[in-house]
Structure 1
Amino acid sequence: MKDVEELNQEFYDAIESADLDRMSEIWAEDAGDRVAMCVHPGWPMLSGRSEVLRSWALIMANTPYIQFVLTDVRTMVLGDVAVLTCAENILTAADTDEAGFAAGRVVATSTYVRTPDGWRLWLYHGSPVLQSEDEEEEE
């Protein structure tokens, strides 16, 4: 379980540092029926390792700053499959002409598979958490 949680943290570190090489090492190779899949918040399902990595390259190239604080991390290992759920509390550069930051929250599920090279990410699904106006004002 510790290995999966450490790799999950490396996944977020790779996003924060825009390290596509590290991101490539984290994702599992496509093998038979096991094809990498990814759902970014608000995006359609992406299938296939090359399509998934292309999406991360686009995100990294167009995100000047991003920071994740993970909460509610839960991990379950069943044989050669591990499922990790968490809340991503995200701080990013605001998407406006003015300097500033924007905050958001995403609930994520990541499925890892054990390979001969160790645990690798197979499926990531992020879903935005809508906040009420009261919650936004508190932040």
Structure 2
Amino acid sequence: MSTTAAEIEKLNEAFYTAIEGGDLDRMTEVWADDEPGRVAMCVHPGWPMLTGRAEVLRSWALIMANTPYIQFVLTDVHTTVIGDVAVLTCAENILTAADTDDATFAAGRVVATNTFVRTPTGWRLWFHHGSPVLQGESDDDEEAEE
């Protein structure tokens, strides 16, 4: 793995650590500033496109304030760097507190594309897109379809 790909994967880990820790300051450091012709964008599963750094960070603040517990285990991580842009795809295997009164957890899976851009202050997250994976499909079913 190249040094740049390793750097992108480290920043990607910082992004998920910020979510898990409810750390909006760290989340703010991860995201790129808006510039003419390039604004931060985010698509949370089931949400409309969010455009602009302020709107994106507000969404993360809302999610963090309303999520008592969340943990990500990333799998299938693939990183491609071309010039000043890097694209990282992964599967987010998520464990979170369930919406019940008892102490239960819910699990889910989201496939994500995180696009990073090189800025004068280093690599920053430019675009995050998460798409839910339908539950109940086994690996055997997926292999049979191929």
Q: Same fold (TM over 0.5)?
A: yes
**TM superposition shift of 1:120:** 0.2
Match of 2:28 in 1: 24
Question: Aligned equivalents of 2:99 and 2:18: distance in 1?
Answer: 21
Matched, 1:118 2:122: yes
What do residues 64-111 of structure 1 show as CA deviations (whole Å, max 9, x unaligned)?
A: 000000000000000000000000000000011222000000000000
Q: Which residue of 2 aligns with 1:129?
A: 133
Partners in 2 of 1:5 and 1:132 — Cα distance?
A: 29
TM superposition shift of 1:21: 0.2
Between the aligned partners of 1:23 and 1:111, the Cα distance in structure 2 is 15
| Superposition deviation, residue 131 in structure 1 | 1.2
Question: 1:107 maps to what in 2?
Answer: 111
Q: What is the TM-score of this pair, normalised by structure 1?
A: 0.95
Aligned-partner SS, 1:130: coil
Say whether residues 1:62 and 2:66 are aligned partners: yes
Selected match of 1:79 from 77, 83, 106: 83
Between 1:89-98 and 1:52-61, the stretch displaced more is 89-98
Residues 134, 2 of structure 1: CA spacing in aligned structure 2 closer, same or farther, 3 A cutoff?
Answer: closer
Say yes or no: does 1:34 pair with 2:38. yes
Q: Alignment partner for residue 101 of structure 2, among 97, 118, 126?
A: 97
Cα distance in 2 between the residues matched to 1:28 and 1:78: 18
What's the counterpart of residue 9 of structure 1? Answer: 13
TM-score of the pair, normalised by structure 2: 0.90
* CA deviation profile, 1:27-59 (whole Å, cap 9, x unmatched): 000000100000000000000000000000000
Q: Given residue 64 of structure 1, which amino acid in structure 2 is its aligned partner?
A: P
1: CA distance, partners of 2:117 / 2:7: 12
Write the distance in 2 (CA, Å) between the matches of 1:119 and 1:132: 37
2-side partners of 1:117 and 1:78: how far apart? 18
How far residue 133 of structure 1 moved from its aligned partner, in angstroms, is 7.2
Tell me which stretches of 4 or more aligned residues in structure 1 moved more than 2 Å: none
